[in-house]
Amino acid sequence: MLDIRDVSHEYGKRNVLNTLSLKATTGVVALVGVNGAGKSTLLSIAGGALKPKNGRVTVDDADVYRIKSRRTALRKLSIMPQRFSFLPRFRVGEFVEYIAYMKGLSWKGARTAADQSLELVGLQSRKMSRMGSLSGGMLRRVALAQAITTKPEVLILDEPTTGLDPEQRAGVRDLIKTVSADRVVLLSSHVMEDIETVAERAVILHRGDFVFDGTLPQLKSLAPDSEAPDAAEAAFLKIIKSTPEAVQ
Ligand SMILES: Nc1ncnc2c1ncn2[C@@H]1O[C@H](COP(=O)(O)OP(=O)(O)OP(=O)(O)O)[C@@H](O)[C@H]1O
């Protein structure tokens, strides 16, 4: 279980996250917010990549930022950042295997894990392709494959569908559903259509606070017309417009 407790963060003197708490046990939780709301900051904190100013993050009671438990916690979680770098000459299989090895698997274990992950994301046939020859959608699938090599209990995906065409987006959404079957997936997005398709729960981050946390039907029920096709989007806009300006 992922437990984000009383987390706050600031850059310089600018407060970005105000004392936030979120627990997730299963399924897909979507973190929603406008550009600059702090989604990537919170996901980096949840994923062990950015120590928060205050508060704690635990995975199955292992604290991500305590030296004693960090290794245990990091083994249970994985993050797919918005952008990732790679050497273009790397072959797809080599790259995923290399990341798995860097995450602590033996070379043999890394090879098996890379094969399984590439199978899951439908890229086995591109195992020998150079990373530099892949399309944006395929790169996103490689990013997902490297994130799941260690079979993490908690998978964090920062804007997994950004920059993809509609077909690629649908493919990545299907994949997210597949990989979320037996783990917690916390993802960020500002594309409501993606959220409606993959997530069971939406958490809206606005001006440093969670201003909504509930199921998609609960979110839609807040729209002026809860039966409208764009009800989730309408509810999101209504909620953020009704949030007072001077929170931070
Ligand atoms: N390293 C940093 N140093 C200073 N300010 C930062 C840093 N990273 C992010 N910020 C600022 O913090 C705020 C939140 O940024 P963050 O990237 O977390 O938001 P976001 O919701 O993920 O945005 P987007 O949807 O555009 O990716 C923004 O105003 C951003 O400019």
**pLDDT tens-digit map of 9-26:** 999 989 999 999 999 988
Which pLDDT value is given to residue 247? Answer: 44
- Bigger pLDDT: 20 vs 227: 20
pLDDT band at 156 (very low <50, low <70, confident <90, very high): very high
- Bigger pLDDT: 2 vs 164: 2
Which pLDDT value is given to residue 51? Answer: 96
**Contact 123/141 with Cβ under 8 angstroms?**
yes
Going by their DSSP bridges, the two strands 201-206 and 184-189 should be labelled as unpaired
Any residues with CB less than 8 A from the CB of 110 and at least 6 apart, and which?
A: 97, 98, 100, 101, 149
Between the alpha carbon of residue 118 and those of residues 11, 141, 150, 158, 173, the distances in Å are 37, 8, 13, 20, 16
- Residue 79 zone, left/alpha/beta (φ > 0; ψ -120 to 50; rest): beta
* Region 173-180 average pLDDT: 88
Of the candidates 148, 155, 196, the residue with the CA atom closest to the CA atom of residue 173: 196
Has residue 125 got a pLDDT over 50? yes
**Contact 57/45 with Cβ under 8 angstroms?**
yes
The per-residue pLDDT for range 186-210, each reduced to its tens digit, is 999 888 888 998 999 999 999 899 9
The per-residue pLDDT for range 35-69, each reduced to its tens digit, is 889 999 999 999 999 999 999 999 999 999 999 99
C-alpha of 246 from chain center: 28
For the chain, the helix, strand and coil percentages under 3-state DSSP, each to the nearest 5: 40, 25, 35
* Region 87-104 average pLDDT: 92
**For the CA of 41, the nearest atom of ligand 1:** 18
Which pLDDT value is given to residue 211? Answer: 95
Mutate which of 41, 80, 188 for ligand 1 pocket (most atoms within 8 A of beta carbon): 41
**For the CA of 188, the nearest atom of ligand 1:** 22
Rounded distance from Cα 192 to ligand 1 centre (Å) = 20
User: Which ipTM score applies to this complex?
Assistant: 0.97
Which pLDDT value is given to residue 245? Answer: 65
C-alpha of 211 from chain center: 19
Which pLDDT value is given to residue 120? Answer: 85
Any residues with CB less than 8 A from the CB of 29 and at least 6 apart, and which?
A: 22, 184, 185, 186, 187, 199, 200, 201, 202, 203
Has residue 2 got a pLDDT over 80? yes
Average pLDDT, the chain: 91
**For the CA of 37, the nearest atom of ligand 1:** 21
